[in-house]
């Protein structure tokens, strides 16, 4: 359904999000945005800009979807109207590839969340109906939990910052990328590599602390699933906003202990100022907000992310070309 805004009043990103008529030669990517209201717009724009910058000569069209089971406020629902389709319509959308984001979780078992039945149905559909699906952040944990019963393991303390990841297997996803690459992470759980390997997953990269980073699952005849427990799509300010939100949650007694300053993200002077600001009261939160607003963050991961997504889109395009060619041959034989 076309959005009410005219093209002359829309940003280039919004125009990209709306796409156009269905073009069989284009790569049609669906984004199932499960992020909470406060992060919905930012996540949508992060992936839209990333895909646009990574597309190169490819004609990439992005379409937005949401799960009914994700609770939304009135303002978010109003903004989503005309931009988002119900994920139940994915089967009729002729999507080539899918990106799925994580959803807010109150700390209980994800399988008890209202959105879980919809999410698992979508994962099962994607396995047989997309060329590739990319699970970002907590969505990676949810997917392996559903597919193979591999539960995420809680960390002693939330992991927040930009961390070096080392490639441990060659893969076309890493074409023209260096052996070590920076990736933003913001999570309170990890996934055991031994459990992934036992179920046939292929670990492509690990963090310096030994935790799994990128991994894949590709049963014969099924979609290639790519799992990114980190957040390479993050923009320059996301980890700073996450830190302020965690400070607010700590002050309200909803989380403990106090959040640590994101690692390898701010310059040393900013880190020192934040450490001096403290985390103990609302005045500290106000000081941190002012400091972070004026900080120059170290966006060291963007080049890596762009190449990673360019490689993913190229692989999707190649798989679509093979599928189209195979169908064409089959049609001629049956004629």
Give me the domain span that covers residue 141.
7-234+299-334
Do 187 and 262 have their domain in common? no
Do 89 and 12 have their domain in common? yes
Residue 134 inside a domain? The answer is yes
Average pLDDT rounded to a whole number, residues 54-83: 95
CA dist., res. 171 & res. 130, Å (int): 20
What is the domain count for the chain? 2
Residue 2 inside a domain? The answer is no
Average pLDDT rounded to a whole number, residues 203-217: 97
Do 187 and 255 have their domain in common? no
pTM of this prediction exceeds 0.85 = yes
Do 303 and 287 have their domain in common? no
Do 248 and 135 have their domain in common? no
pLDDT at 27: 96
Q: State the helix-helix crossing angle for 116-129 and 138-148, rounded to 10 degrees.
A: 80
Given a cut of 60, whether residue 333 has pLDDT beyond it is: no
Low-confidence winner among 8-12, 113-117, 182-186 (lowest mean pLDDT): 8-12
Helix, strand, or coil (residue 131): coil
pLDDT band at 5 (very low <50, low <70, confident <90, very high): very low
First to last CA, the chain: 36
Do 121 and 244 have their domain in common? no
* Last residue in a domain, options 261, 276, 293: 293
CA dist., res. 43 & res. 250, Å (int): 24
Do 194 and 126 have their domain in common? yes
Domain containing 140 — which CATH number?
3.40.50.880
Low-confidence winner among 11-15, 49-53, 130-134 (lowest mean pLDDT): 11-15
Residue 1 inside a domain? The answer is no
Low-confidence winner among 11-15, 21-25, 68-72, 251-255 (lowest mean pLDDT): 11-15
Do 230 and 258 have their domain in common? no
Do 104 and 197 have their domain in common? yes
CB 282 within 8 A of CB 289: no
Do 69 and 125 have their domain in common? yes
Summarised one tens digit per residue, pLDDT across range 147-190 is 999 999 999 999 999 999 999 999 999 999 999 999 999 999 99
């Amino acid at each position: 359904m076309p959005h009410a805004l005219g093209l002359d009043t829309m940003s280039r990103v919004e125009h990209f999000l709306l796409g156009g008529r269905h073009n069989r030669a284009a790569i049609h990517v669906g984004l199932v945005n499960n992020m909470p209201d406060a992060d919905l717009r930012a996540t949508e724009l992060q992936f839209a800009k990333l895909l646009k910058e990574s597309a190169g000569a490819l004609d990439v069209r992005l379409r937005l979807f949401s799960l009914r089971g994700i609770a939304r406020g009135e303002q978010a629902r109003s903004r989503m109207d005309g931009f988002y389709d119900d994920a139940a319509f994915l089967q009729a959308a002729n999507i080539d590839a899918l990106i799925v984001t994580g959803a807010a979780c109150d700390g209980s078992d994800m399988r008890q969340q209202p959105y879980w039945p919809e999410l698992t149905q979508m994962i099962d559909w994607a396995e047989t109906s997309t060329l590739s699906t990319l699970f970002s952040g907590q969505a990676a944990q949810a997917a392996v939990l559903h597919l193979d019963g591999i539960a995420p393991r809680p960390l002693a303390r939330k992991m927040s910052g930009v961390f070096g990841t080392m490639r441990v297997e060659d893969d076309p996803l890493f074409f023209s990328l260096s052996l070590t690459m920076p990736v933003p992470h913001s999570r309170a759980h990890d996934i055991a590599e031994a459990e992934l390997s036992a179920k046939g997953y292929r670990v492509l990269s690990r963090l310096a602390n030994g935790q799994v980073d990128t991994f894949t699952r590709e049963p014969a005849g099924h979609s290639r699933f790519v799992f990114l427990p980190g957040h390479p799509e993050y923009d320059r300010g996301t980890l700073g906003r996450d830190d302020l939100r965690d400070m607010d949650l700590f002050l309200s007694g909803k989380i403990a202990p106090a959040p640590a300053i994101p690692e390898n993200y701010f310059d040393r002077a900013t880190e020192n100022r934040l450490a001096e600001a403290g985390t103990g009261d609302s005045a500290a939160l106000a000081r941190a907000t002012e400091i972070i607003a004026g900080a120059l963050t170290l966006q060291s991961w963007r080049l890596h992310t762009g190449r990673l997504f360019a490689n993913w889109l190229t692989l999707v395009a190649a798989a679509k070309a093979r599928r189209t060619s195979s169908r064409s041959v089959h049609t001629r034989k049956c004629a």
